[in-house]
Structure 1
Amino acid sequence: MTQPPQHQPYGQHQPYGQHQPYGQQPGWSQPGYPGPPPGGPHPGYPMPSRPRPTRGPLPMTLGIIGGVLLLGAVVLFVLAVTVFRSTVPLGVLDSDGGPGADALISGDPPLMAEAQLEAGESYMLYVVRPTGASAPGLSETPEVVSPSGERGSMRWAEISSTATQGGSSAVGVNSYSAEESGLHEFSISGFTDPALDGSGEAFVVLAPGGDFAGLASGVFGVLGAVFGGIALGTIGLGLLIAGIVVGVVRRRRRREQEGGTGPGGLLGQGPRPAW
């Protein structure tokens, strides 16, 4: 006779030690299993997050680029000062009102003197009088003899050039552009007011400068160097500060990762169990 299936009474389970065969254990992948608890397999210990990188060449790279730009700004500022000094007649007179460091020829006219000139450079002849007095003109246009023996004359000044220092004022009256390098001989006549000749109240100075092209290039050169230096300095200082800030932040983050930030003492761990 066929026996009806017998079911195990409620509350009676398999003896201890008897388990289901391998592969039939209830698990997350079997139907009906609700899955892992919310928050992961270990709710009390969340998975540690991947730490952000705390090393790399970024701070040093920013610092190097910023330093190079700052150095370039300093070079441009020095260049601006140099061009400014060569453009503005600062060396025509000294602090006492006498001939300055740029004076190639100086003296009371009429006179004849030699000066070492460079080919392609321009030079200006100044008449110097006490500040407030009118500058007299020369009775004749100064003549020049080049190293090859060619005779020529100075021309009227292309630009207005003045210098005041030490109680004296210098006014440019004539200019000359050298076509060859070497000693040039200048023949300078007396003043239009003969009473000033040899009186010591007025004298002449020959100094570099005097052409419009040189003045224009000098002005634009100074402006370009100044604004370029400001731009490079601003960018360089910003990059240098950014490099320092990034380095400090990374160092602080690295210390936190190495020493731990949580109560448990390890990065990413929650509080230790209270046993």
Structure 2
Amino acid sequence: MIGSAAGTWRVTVSALAILLAAACAPGDGREMRGASPTDTAGVLTDDGARSTAGAAGHVSLAPVEGAPKVHASEMDGQVTDLANYDLSYPQISGTSFDSAVNGALEAVVAAAYTGFRASVLEEEGSEMGASSLRGTGKVLHVDGRLLSVVFDVTTEWDDAASLQQDVATLLVDLSTGRVLEPAELFVAGSPWLDQVAALARADLSAQLGEDMLFTEGLVADAANFRHLAVTASGLVLRFDAYQVAPGVAGTPWVDLPWSAVASLVDRTGPAGHLVS
């Protein structure tokens, strides 16, 4: 998996220097490009959390007063003649913590790239066919307080003989520039994990069928719900491939309205202003 090869998908600001240094190997064909910031609140935004990596049709979020400007950057190139990558991710401007936030966003795709590169070089000289890494970071929510991004990455190995899907999320408190853990959205000591786990299981059972679920991946443990994102209307829960269902299910997701967890959200916390 990309996540294990790179160390972790869930990055913190303190890990940025290591991840970015590892990603920037000289002479590996990596190229980074960025557009000028837009004048609206959101780009690189999909019209739903349910698209896959590389999907077309990015749309802009409606401008939100106090929100930073968001623009797209891209990391692409070749590791070898038979291995290429193309990763797009958002960057922001207009906050007091642009550097920290942008570093955290870039570090997620840098980790994916680092894992891909290591795997490719390990197989160099073998008879493995062409491989590619494709990924997109999508802004699901941005305002003056909170940024939520979902990253979907697809790796095709050996002339598409093997397909790997990975997901990551990033929540950032824009008032401090700090990467958040999901628990920080909720009242300390509240049973938010129990509630979210029960709701997620019910939703996935309806989507996939109870007999399809891997219930150990839905136990009320923070590690099972680390891929948590937010929108203006609620929570988005993403799950790793094979975590909650067979591989045919890909990387499943669950949408929960704020009303389902309103009593558990910290009203003074990063997402409190989103709960009516």
Question: Which TM-score tier does this pair reach, normalised by the shorter chain?
Answer: under 0.3
Name whichever structure is richer in strand by fraction.
Answer: 2
- Flag the structure with more relative contact order, 1 or 2, with Cα contacts below 8 A and sequence separation at least 6: 1
Q: Which has the larger radius of gyration?
A: 1
TM-score normalised by structure 1 residue count: 0.18
